[in-house]
Structure 1
């Protein structure tokens, strides 16, 4: 009897911990997509252009991607709970600054830089703490499902919530909303306890962090400059590639010298994890790319306001929620590989439907079927992709793999806005329908790349090191 009571209390304690972690993933994903419906409002208020708003959105996503790996490594040195709290505080300051920004420059500082850095600090602890606290395979999969669903819903519902707030009050109020959610998370996270002590003696590869961040920034900025200057694009991307090469050569040199690099090359020797990372990248590239392209097209070409654009995006939110609610039942009946493959197939169909139906109909609800399928497809494969990657390594590698996993996912988000957005923006003023079609075709091609990676995943993955280690070292109250 006493054992039952203890187990129930432990499960309840874990649920209290999961709420702020899932809410943190929700608000960070929300921040990546809610600005898509504010394009016209922000452009008018801050006297900027569609490209200016695209720049702010992309830099936010890119800063997250570039700093996620360093953020994951810092958790080992300073502690997961401390990094989580510091990230929340920095994010909150950025949200308040964005709400009062007088121009695009201050908006980029608050939203793109401060919120981006804050997210890079707080997201790795979300996944590391989940892996450490939920030691059972089933419990961990369910927890990852909740967090992944919260992230997906945040990204899909961002346009609707942002549209409601923008139309009812102002686009600035959407950042006040973010700040209030951050305050709530800080209060709820008082129950979160770091299961492992911080190790202040752990070294930090500062040069590696700078090289990797600059390399990623230059590559993505090169993509965004494609419609301005071909030579500038080539120059930026070449410089970024050289910095990334320098980074990887430095990693190899540090490993040979017995030093700890920012990112161990051994993380890339796991074939299953590598394929899982590709699926993560392409999932978020498609979701965020489609979100920006459809939002910009509806506002700039068809003249819809923020709430009208947000309401149309409820189709994607409904699809993602429907898949998330069924995630546990799907996982019991089908393998993770099958779920990811099915998710990409549904998403490819969604992009095709979005392209064909919208082209032939002026009705705004022609967007709904395609958006629903994209939301349902992505929602169905978010959890298995995360679980495949995280569970491929033991507890001692969770700081590294969590940072890499989140970096790859956020890089996909920034690439989606940069690549598909740049294709659209390049021709939206002269040939909007053709530019929209070209952007959707690019997203369909990316979906096919993800599908190939999913098909290459092993049908019966080997037992995860994380699961074995968790079972051996399981403690009361951890699962």
Structure 2
């Protein structure tokens, strides 16, 4: 673009990422309230949260691809409208089934439509690396703050009014984004003739759903877990075989193998997955433990989580200064190291300690570590590809991140829920150890990122 883009266009994009991340974590502090009101269980609420995250992860790649055909701005607006309808339906839900329809399905599909355009538009509107890094910093920071502050805001609204009001709050924010979003341009015209791989979308979504369902079945039926996991892996393998077949035939698949051509981007995708798995896993495990075992209410749980929000905010506010002085690889590596220290501290100080203050130091470090690395990881991935591949890489990037969120709630949450009544301390400890191992994997992968410049565009 020849003319500079007003910074005001960032507001609706960043706010959209905020509310979608908020939606993924704010329900964690409503577990007791929702389960009582809708006559369900902790596991029922966990399933609703997991399905929401799973729908996002499963449909992000198709959502990113649709932006090429129908336009980024149009998909962004359609996603916002669908999300708003889902939020209002959730607010009046009489039972768990309607809540899953509104929150897990409609909000999930809406998010999958609106989030890829956020990252595609940012990449296209801010073509130089300096302005793009700042823009991604603002969006990633709002996403991280939304996830970290979700328990506090959700807890406050739930305690002051009702858990249903939290969904009304989401609908109001969506209305604000729709108004602000009118000024966001779409720099590349849509191409209605662009093909869409419907079969590939079904293959990929089905495979991801089966894998996550297998994880959720772990505490009920080991054989069912194995069957679902094997089936999921088989379906995903079939999806990738179909991708190669379409490419050999000269057709356009849902996800081109070119998105895996950059080693740097591949490593960045792994770090993104680990980051969101750690964030959402910690959010669910600690929230459930505080409410079910320690007996804290929604606002008390949310207040405890202000430590993570504060840590993330401090790191995000210094992101531009850190980026000017340190390599992106260094920031991601240090972020994982700090987060691991936070998990270890959270585990060591909380076990056997009845005081709420014991959670603060660990959550503070986890938030600060995540704040350090969220922006560099996004910039590493998005900037590794040229304009023509932004739809695909944005969909893949957001799918990988949301799959991390899904796995965080599914894996760590399943471990906790399985033993939260019989052996709560042991179940909590085991869940946190798993999260620490995930962070350790992220650290090892971050160390393999190349030193110096990490941007190598693949057109």
Do structure 1's residue 203 and structure 2's residue 195 form an aligned pair? yes
Q: Residue deviations 1:134-155, cap 9 Å, x none? A: 0111000000000000000000
Q: Choose the corresponding residue for 1:410, options 402, 405, 430.
A: 402
Do structure 1's residue 25 and structure 2's residue 8 form an aligned pair? no
Q: Residue deviations 1:399-422, cap 9 Å, x none? A: 000000000000000000000000
Aligned to 1:445: 437
**Secondary structure at 2:6's aligned position in 1?**
helix
Q: Choose the corresponding residue for 1:72, options 46, 52, 64.
A: 64
Aligned to 1:379: 371
Equivalences for residues 300-339 of structure 1 within 5 A: 300-339=292-331
Greater Cα offset, 360-369 or 23-32? 360-369
**Secondary structure at 1:226's aligned position in 2?**
helix
Q: Choose the corresponding residue for 2:258, options 261, 266, 271.
A: 266
Q: Choose the corresponding residue for 1:90, options 82, 97, 104.
A: 82
Q: Residue deviations 1:91-147, cap 9 Å, x none? A: 000000000000000000000000000000000000000000001110000000000
Do structure 1's residue 348 and structure 2's residue 343 form an aligned pair? no
Cα distance between partner residues in 1 of 2:403 and 2:357 = 30
Cα distance between partner residues in 2 of 1:266 and 1:35 = 37
Cα distance between partner residues in 2 of 1:46 and 1:465 = 50
**Secondary structure at 1:202's aligned position in 2?**
coil
Q: Choose the corresponding residue for 2:146, options 150, 154, 173.
A: 154
Q: Residue deviations 1:64-92, cap 9 Å, x none? A: 00000000000000000000000000000
Do structure 1's residue 227 and structure 2's residue 219 form an aligned pair? yes
Report the Cα offset of residue 15 of structure 1: 1.3
Q: Is the 8 A contact 2:419 2:427 kept in 1?
A: yes
**Secondary structure at 2:12's aligned position in 1?**
helix
Do structure 1's residue 217 and structure 2's residue 217 form an aligned pair? no
Aligned to 1:291: 283
Aligned to 1:16: 8
Q: Choose the corresponding residue for 2:383, options 387, 391, 394.
A: 391
Q: Is the 8 A contact 2:380 2:455 kept in 1?
A: no
Aligned to 1:118: 110
Cα distance between partner residues in 2 of 1:373 and 1:58 = 25
Q: Which structure 1 segments of 5+ residues have no match? A: 1-6, 470-479
Report the Cα offset of residue 461 of structure 1: 3.2
Gap change, CA 1:462 and 1:433, over 3 Å in 2: closer
Displaced runs of 4+ in structure 1, greater than 4 A? none
Cα distance between partner residues in 1 of 2:371 and 2:251 = 40
Cα distance between partner residues in 2 of 1:373 and 1:241 = 35
Report the Cα offset of residue 465 of structure 1: 2.2
Cα distance between partner residues in 2 of 1:321 and 1:248 = 39
Do structure 1's residue 193 and structure 2's residue 185 form an aligned pair? yes
**Secondary structure at 2:429's aligned position in 1?**
helix
**Count of aligned pairs:** 458
Cα distance between partner residues in 2 of 1:31 and 1:155 = 8
TM-score, structure 2 length as denominator? 0.99
Aligned to 2:171: 179
**Secondary structure at 1:465's aligned position in 2?**
coil
Q: Which structure 2 segments of 5+ residues have no match? A: none
Report the Cα offset of residue 204 of structure 1: 0.2
Aligned to 1:58: 50
Cα distance between partner residues in 2 of 1:460 and 1:68 = 31
Aligned to 2:36: 44
**Secondary structure at 2:351's aligned position in 1?**
helix
Cα distance between partner residues in 1 of 2:289 and 2:363 = 14
Aligned to 1:474: none
Q: Residue deviations 1:299-353, cap 9 Å, x none? A: 0001110000000000000000000000000000000000000000000000000
CA RMSD of the aligned region, Å?
A: 1.0
Q: Is the 8 A contact 2:268 2:377 kept in 1?
A: yes
Report the Cα offset of residue 464 of structure 1: 3.3
Report the Cα offset of residue 365 of structure 1: 1.1
Aligned to 1:473: none
**Secondary structure at 1:101's aligned position in 2?**
coil
**Secondary structure at 1:225's aligned position in 2?**
helix
Q: Choose the corresponding residue for 1:254, options 246, 259, 271.
A: 246
**Secondary structure at 1:417's aligned position in 2?**
helix
**Secondary structure at 2:422's aligned position in 1?**
coil
Report the Cα offset of residue 269 of structure 1: 2.2
Report the Cα offset of residue 462 of structure 1: 5.0
Cα distance between partner residues in 2 of 1:463 and 1:130 = 16
Cα distance between partner residues in 2 of 1:413 and 1:177 = 22
